[in-house]
Amino acid sequence: MIMGILRLNKRYQKWLHSYEEDTDNHMIYRPSSYDFPLGWTRVGMTFKDKGGFILHDITPDESLVKKLGRWKLIDNTKLEVSLSAGNKETLMIEIEKINCKILKIKRL
């Protein structure tokens, strides 16, 4: 059951986008310790205990920037992320699979 999976501490780490593994329906993230191919600047996210969140994004000049926010569980598979900087955007994340090696997010 996904709810049980979402409660595991496995999500409390930095996840980087593994573009090469994406499909039409899913985005794939791997732990920051994963051996990624060279050549890509990677965006990512960090889930922290007690609802903390960091979006690791790329600026137009290809610098990395951290956007802080909070996450909350909406239902068994969905998280709502509210970013506190700038335009205070809200992201919806639907997790299809998570373990210590992969975070598989459904494209919404």
Give the model confidence (pLDDT) of 29-46 as tens digits. 999 999 999 877 899 999
CATH 2.40.128.280 fits 2-106, yes or no: yes
Q: Nearest 5 degrees, angle CA 85-CA 36-CA 8?
A: 60
Top mean-pLDDT range of 23-32, 37-46, 51-60: 23-32
pTM of the model as a whole: 0.85
The whole-chain average pLDDT of the chain stands at: 85
pLDDT tier at 5, thresholds 50, 70, 90: very low
CB 90 within 8 A of CB 80: yes
- Compute φ and ψ for 49, nearest 5 degrees: -60, 150
